[in-house]
């Protein structure tokens, strides 16, 4: 069969790569073309577009890059037509993918969605488009199946979160070797900083995350560099010898981290699965945030709290994300008061 897979960010690239491996294991003749990243290409997909050219965060940022986004949508449609797949598989990235799905359905392509758009968080009315344009939906969060089937009468397949398998299948690392190879101080407990994968969010998050390291000299703060960003991008944040850096080794870093400051997103769940206490941080462009808070209907923003249905990790959002509040929260989560650590 011929598969066309569309992912638009680093987490989608990870999940897409595992999906490609699974498809090839079941279908030896699988011909896979994709929008994604290095992991999907390494798994055997033919890369049509890299997500580095597609990652825009927030309403204002999308508006500022609307010409590029429109060009990408047009290119994607043309590429699908030329490839003529048996099925198109969308991975998250709803703003882009739901537009392609509408067009694809109009042109009689089979459409599958893996990792649902978060319509349970905002713009629930999009369920009408999903019912119209998606042939099969595969969800990864336990509450999503009830949301779709009981509330909206749309049957879906619950397949579990792919991060669980990805983390369980990873071999244990030698923490001493890891610290030595990455020039980290083996005498200090590590505070992992996971500032995200997009330039806009990293620039917003890292400054405030690093604003407290001078108050806790007994710890080493280590930045987890995203595979989508070059090391040179992080250089301005690395002018202090007490700040470490590792690139594209987030899981290894979490394996030996004492605690973490994490930008809201998939990384919050990854950190929880490694049983690392965390504070969830998020700050968006002011206009984007004002729009978002008027359409998002959730009590929490992090996947950890959403899955648990209560606040088990501290969230510092927008104006609450300050040096003062981070300092106040820091001793609490270091003692495991925000997430219990076995």
User: 235 CB contacts (<8 Å, ≥6 apart)?
Assistant: none
2-168: which CATH number, 3.40.50.720, 3.30.470.20, 3.40.50.2000, 3.40.50.300? 3.40.50.2000
In this structure, the chain runs to a length of: 342
Determine the pLDDT at residue 65: 58
The hierarchical CATH code for the domain 175-334 is 3.40.50.2000
DSSP state for residue 153 in the 8-state scheme: -
Distances (CA, A) of 120 to 129, 271, 273, 295: 14, 23, 23, 11
Q: Answer yes or no: same fold for 2-168 and 175-334.
A: yes
What three-state secondary structure class fits 35?
strand
Determine the pLDDT at residue 266: 85
Q: Please give the average pLDDT of every successive group of 10 residues along the chain, which has 342 residues.
A: 94 92 95 96 96 63 67 95 98 93 98 93 91 97 93 96 81 89 90 90 90 91 91 90 90 94 90 92 68 59 82 89 90 54 36
Predicted TM-score (pTM) of the model is 0.74
User: 234 CB contacts (<8 Å, ≥6 apart)?
Assistant: 202, 206, 223, 225, 245
What three-state secondary structure class fits 278?
strand
Distances (CA, A) of 17 to 21, 38, 117, 146: 6, 9, 19, 27
User: Cβ(169)–Cβ(179) under 8 Å?
Assistant: no
DSSP state for residue 51 in the 8-state scheme: G
Q: What are phi and psi of 251, to 5 degrees?
A: -65, -40
Domain ranges of the chain: 2-168, 175-334
Distances (CA, A) of 212 to 62, 141, 316, 330: 31, 34, 14, 9
Place of tokens 């009590």: 299
In Å, the largest CA–CA distance within the chain is: 61
């Amino acid at each position: 069969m011929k598969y066309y897979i569309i992912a638009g960010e680093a987490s989608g690239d990870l999940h897409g790569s595992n999906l490609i491996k699974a498809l090839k294991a079941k279908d030896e003749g699988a011909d896979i073309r994709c929008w994604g990243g290095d992991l999907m290409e390494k798994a055997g997909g033919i890369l049509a577009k890299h997500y580095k050219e597609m990652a825009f965060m927030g309403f204002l940022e999308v508006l500022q890059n609307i010409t590029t986004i429109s060009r990408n949508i047009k290119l994607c449609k043309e590429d699908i037509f030329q490839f003529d797949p048996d099925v198109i598989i969308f991975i998250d990235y709803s703003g882009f993918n739901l537009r392609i799905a509408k067009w694809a359905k109009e042109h009689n392509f089979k459409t599958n969605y893996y990792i649902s758009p978060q319509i349970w968080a905002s713009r629930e009315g999009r369920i009408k488009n999903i019912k119209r344009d998606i042939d099969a939906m595969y969800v990864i969060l336990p509450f999503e199946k009830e949301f779709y089937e009981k509330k909206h009468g749309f049957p879906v397949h619950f397949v579990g979160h792919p991060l669980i398998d990805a983390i369980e299948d990873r071999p244990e690392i030698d923490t001493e070797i890891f610290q030595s190879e990455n020039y980290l101080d083996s005498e200090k407990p590590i505070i992992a900083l996971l500032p995200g994968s997009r330039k806009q969010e990293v620039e917003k998050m890292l400054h405030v995350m690093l604003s407290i390291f001078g108050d806790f000299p007994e710890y080493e703060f280590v930045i987890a560099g995203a595979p989508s960003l070059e090391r040179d991008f992080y250089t301005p944040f690395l002018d202090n010898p007490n700040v470490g850096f590792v690139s594209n080794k987030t899981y290894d870093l979490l394996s030996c981290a004492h605690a973490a400051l994490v930008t809201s997103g998939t990384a919050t769940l990854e950190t929880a699965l490694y049983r690392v206490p965390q504070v969830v941080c998020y700050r968006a462009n002011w206009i984007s945030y004002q729009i978002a808070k008027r359409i998002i209907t959730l009590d929490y923003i992090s996947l950890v709290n959403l899955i648990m249905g209560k606040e088990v990790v501290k969230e510092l959002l927008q104006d609450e994300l300050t040096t003062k509040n981070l300092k106040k929260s820091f001793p609490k989560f270091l003692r495991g008061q925000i997430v219990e650590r076995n």
